[in-house]
Structure 1
Amino acid sequence: MTRGGKIAYKPVGMVGGVLAGAVSGFLVRKTWAAISGEEETPGALRLDHGFAEVVLAAALQGAVFAATSTAINRLGALGFRRATGVWPGD
């Protein structure tokens, strides 16, 4: 892809990143609430949660964010290609 095409795709990628963060945060909160009955996932420094629970929450957050980010980035790239005829990667 040309340098100009990469620059043109930057705003799409940035919006996708923000959207991925918001969507994954929502999904993690809903999933964690269904699993544990709590509204928020426990942070690493929360004394009232065990080690395994904190690590499980972090693993859930990482997995959901990675999957959501990948899906949104891929959809953004497909939309960019449809609009411009140029694939934003490679």
Structure 2
Amino acid sequence: MTSTQPEKRSSRSAKILYRPWGLVASVLGGLIAGQVFQQVWKRVDPTSTDDPPKPLESEYPLQKILLAALVQGAIFSVVRALINRGGARLFERWTGEWPGD
């Protein structure tokens, strides 16, 4: 797949300066994703009054545990991608340099 946008250049200093921002964004993204997952899980399994099942909780069938893991993984991946991309764009707007690549 080819991109129609020109490749953005990044300097070593931009990558280093972005690291603290990236760490904060990752933690924030994890918190947001956790909250989103809790709300989505309530809709996926409306009969559940507890938190989503964890792999070592024997009272849940494997199918339910795998579904919870699938939903959680998808949400975390999408939220992480959105947060990282948005953070990189904001960093570029402030500094004029793309922090990735």
Output the TM-score relative to the length of structure 1: 0.94
Relative contact order, higher structure (CA 8 A, sep 6+): 2
Report the more deviating stretch, 38-47 or 24-33. Answer: 38-47
Identity of aligned residues (%): 38
Q: Which protein has the larger Cα radius of gyration, Structure 1 or Structure 2?
A: 2
For 1:61, give the aligned amino acid: Q
1-side partners of 2:43 and 2:59: how far apart?
19
* Matched pairs, number: 90
Gaps of 5+ in 2: 1-9
* Unmatched runs of 5 consecutive residues or more in structure 1: none
1:6-43 per-residue CA deviation (whole Å, 9 max, x = no partner) reads: 11000111011001100110011111112213341100
What is the Cα-based RMSD across aligned positions, in Å? 1.0
Moved over 3 A (4+): none
* 2:41 counterpart of 1:32: yes
User: 2:78 matched to 1:70?
Assistant: no
Alignment of 1:5-84 (within 5 A): 5-37=14-46, 38=48, 39-84=50-95
Report the TM-score, using the length of structure 2 for normalisation: 0.84
